[in-house]
Chain A
Amino acid sequence: MRTYRVQSDEKTYDVTVESKNKRECRVEMKDATIECVRNQPEEISTWAVRREDKRFHARARSLGSNRVEVWIGGLPFHFTVTPVGVAYVEPIRPTSGAKSGEVHAIMPGRITSILVKPGEEVSVGTPLVILEAMKMQNEIVSHKAGRVTSIKVREGDTVRKDDVLLQIR
């Protein structure tokens, strides 16, 4: 849960944001709860926004130094977004667990084949998994030398970005 002060030229909104994951979050403000879901991150990201029974789309981009531009219903809005107080900080999960030995999905997609077995010895650069995304086969290779301790996915699984695929120790 994080608290922000969002300011436009004329108004100030105090809101709390609870993010479920890297795509979805729930924003609580004075008289409303607004759910926001982000599509593929881009320079200007597309969002689906739900308020009560209404759902609509919007776009947002960061303009740097706390400035955010939002497009909604044909109009631009500019805000300064400032974190309030010392909120709890979720640890930022590294995308490739250099220390932990976790291997993560670098993009969302489908596991088409697993190239290693538990207990197998691997070195840096050993191909581990083939991840298919946007009709392209992507080889996920090992970032460290060691032994495969567990495999968290099966062939055919759909994974999201940053999901743990396997563990190397």
Chain B
Amino acid sequence: MLVYSDADQNSLPVTYADDTFHFVGVTPKETYLSTRKIIHAAKETGCDGIHPGYGFLSEDASFAKACEEDGLTFVGPSSDSIEKLENKLTARKTIRDVGVPIIPGSDRPLKDDDDAVAIAQSIGFPVILKAVYGGGGRGMRIAKSAEEIRRFYRLTRMEAISSFGKSEMYIEKQLASPRHVEIQALAEKRGHVVVLGERECSIQRRHQKLLEEAPSIGITDILRSALSDAAKKGLEASGYTNAGTVEFLVDDAGKFYFLEVNKRVQVEHLVTELTTGIDIIEEQLSIAFDSHMNLSQNEVKVRGWAINCRINAEDPRNEFTPSPGKVIHYHAPAGPGIRVDSALYSGYVVPEYYDSLIVKLAAYGRNRKDAIRRMKGALNELEVIGIPTTIPLHQSIMTEKQFNDGEFSTTYLDILGPRLQKTLARLEENAAALAAANTAITMPLKNTWTHRSNWRRFALHMHRRGW
């Protein structure tokens, strides 16, 4: 059974679902963020549980609690463990206590901007001001000096209140150019944690991931097993169940720091599914409903390489502003190792109310080179006509040397900037050529001169003489 808002009534999931429940309205607040309405819909249609997906209420402790109280199985961790990890300061403490390194920073909420400056000076600039209850790249700001902290303090605090409903903030040191590496894990109620390998998610824009890979090209086997151990210990210590991801930052010396726990299945889980052959959603359901998973650690084998490109309805020529609207033509690539997760179809109107992610395009290969080659082909085949998308951004990345060499960090997009501009300029040139070709072929010059007109002969004569 699927709940949907007015804005999603023409979506494919609604067409394909066994049963649906309609919410009047379009805004998240009156639809997908309404705990009351969702619980009501579930009870009304006889559901025994709720899978929260990866947006909206998927990491909301009070929503999980409401499910528990109403006798509905929440597919995810318990409300207690969400609560424990929701507060970033508590999460940092839990993780530090099991011996996992955390990024230097404050271990209590900031009192005011003076307090923030004092802590920043003791750990060194630059620093990141962060909302204690934040997530998803929002409610955070980088400050390079005491003045910047004073300038951003109020702003970030307001953002924290409006996005997360709580004003507390803390401070973390900003690492120079780290990699973002995360461990995918599955945990069952007996405290048994299985890790499914890591994902490399360094390619980001404004703390939003754009491209993910499994495995990571930037870490050694020693670091890989250190990260896995740290993730296991951290999840066991917080009594975690179901699918979860432990995120780390790795600096250029190979030192790693705990970043946060994602208490849900993630957008990029498909790359792990490709390299392990494990259906993470199916495991989530087993853990939630049968209290066990069908899997032991020694059954997990990571094979080959997978890359995911997030295709967003955003205009790369216009600072990536969202570009909702009608898709007049859609064609998805296929072939060995290609996976397309998308609900687009020709004629679909991408609503303006929700996330701009419209296609997850993943390529799997025997090795990284193979996966990149397949991704290039798939990006060329993928057609989303009608709204601007981030396809050219990914095409630009796929042919860029540092990406191909595996030498990149979270600052990669700064390097890519000028290259992307070149790609876009070249696209426009090609488009201009095609516009002329289209005109030449489809609209032959109207022959306003009649065949035997002397005027035409005269004009031709003048033209040949160079007029």
Contact = CB atoms under 8 A, between A and B. Distances in A.
Chain A interface helix/strand/loop/mixed: strand
Given A17-B436, A86-B460, A45 B442 contact: yes
Given A38-B441, A59-B329, A13 B429 contact: yes
B435 A60 contact: yes
B328 interface: yes
A90 B329 CA distance: 34
A99 B337 CA distance: 58
B392 to A, nearest CB: 5
Contacts of B447: 89, 91-92
Contact of A74 (B382, B436, B439, B462): B382
Nearest to A6: B432
B431 A77 contact: yes
B441 A77 contact: no
A58 B389 contact: no
Interface in A64-102: 66, 68, 70-77, 79, 81, 83, 85-92
Interface string A45-72: 1010101000011111110001010111
Contact of A89 (B428, B430, B444): B444
Interface stretch (A25-33, A116-124, A153-161): A25-33
B434 interface: yes
A68 B435 contact: yes
A58 to B, nearest CB: 5
B209 interface: no
B460 to A, nearest CB: 7
B444 A74 contact: no
Nearest to A11: B428
Contact of A81 (B424, B436, B460, B463): B436
Nearest to A47: B434
- Interface residues on chain B, size class: 35 or more
Nearest to B445: A89
B404 interface: no
Contact of A19 (B388, B433, B440, B463): B440
A88 B424 CA distance: 33
Given A72-B427, A73-B395, A4 B440 contact: yes
Most interface-central of A49, A59, A72 (chain B CB within 10 A): A72
Most interface-central of B316, B431, B437 (chain A CB within 10 A): B437
A70 B445 CA distance: 20
Nearest to A56: B380
Contact of A77 (B311, B390, B428): B428
Contacts of A6: 432-433, 435-436
30 contacts: A15-B432, A15-B433, A15-B436, A17-B436, A22-B441, A25-B437, A25-B441, A29-B432, A32-B433, A44-B328, A49-B434, A57-B383, A58-B434, A59-B385, A62-B438, A68-B435, A70-B431, A70-B432, A74-B311, A74-B383, A74-B384, A74-B389, A75-B388, A75-B392, A81-B436, A81-B439, A83-B445, A86-B462, A89-B449, A92-B447
Given A27-B433, A62-B442, 15 more contacts: A2-B445, A4-B439, A22-B441, A25-B441, A29-B433, A57-B380, A58-B431, A70-B438, A75-B316, A76-B388, A81-B439, A86-B460, A86-B462, A91-B447, A92-B447
